[in-house]
Amino acid sequence: MKKVLVAVIMGLLCFSMLSMLAPHAVADLPGDLNLDGKVNILDMMLAANAFGSSEGEPAWNPLADMDGDGQITILDLILIGRSFGLTSP
Ligand SMILES: [Ca+2]
Ligand SMILES: [Ca+2]
């Protein structure tokens, strides 16, 4: 079980390194859902509102889909959490 957890964490780290290299398609600052140039509690609340939704549903927020799989899952919230506190240069 611990090995699985380590693998998931390693995957998350690799993904976040990749997303640092590739510019984000929609927002300059990944996780900045309200586009105010910083990732804070407001963005987490927007992500929480969209949590559980899929592409095309009323609660869907494309900016909250950090991994681009068409669903807002716990993984997206984790990825937004990783950007928490960042501001746009
Ligand atoms: Ca924001
Ligand atoms: Ca997702």
Q: What is the CATH number of the domain that holds 18?
A: 1.10.1330.10
Residue 18 lies in a domain: yes
Question: Ligand 1 centroid vs 2 CA: distance in angstroms?
Answer: 34
If pLDDT is split at 50, 70 and 90, which confidence band does 48 have? very high
pLDDT reported for residue 24 = 46
Residue 68 lies in a domain: yes
Question: Ligand 2 centroid vs 63 CA: distance in angstroms?
Answer: 10
Residue 22 lies in a domain: yes
Residue 89 lies in a domain: no
Which residues constitute the domain of residue 56?
Answer: 2-83
DSSP letter for each residue of 23-51:
PPSS-SSTT-TT-SSB-SHHHHHHHHHHT
Question: Ligand 1 centroid vs 28 CA: distance in angstroms?
Answer: 11
Name which residue leads in pLDDT, 4 or 35. 35
Q: What is the rounded average pLDDT of the residues 26-46?
A: 91
Ligand nearest to the CA of 55: 2
Mean pLDDT of the chain: 86
Residue 88 lies in a domain: no
pLDDT at residue 46 above 80? yes
If pLDDT is split at 50, 70 and 90, which confidence band does 57 have? very high
The answer to whether 74 and 67 are in contact (CB under 8 A) is: no
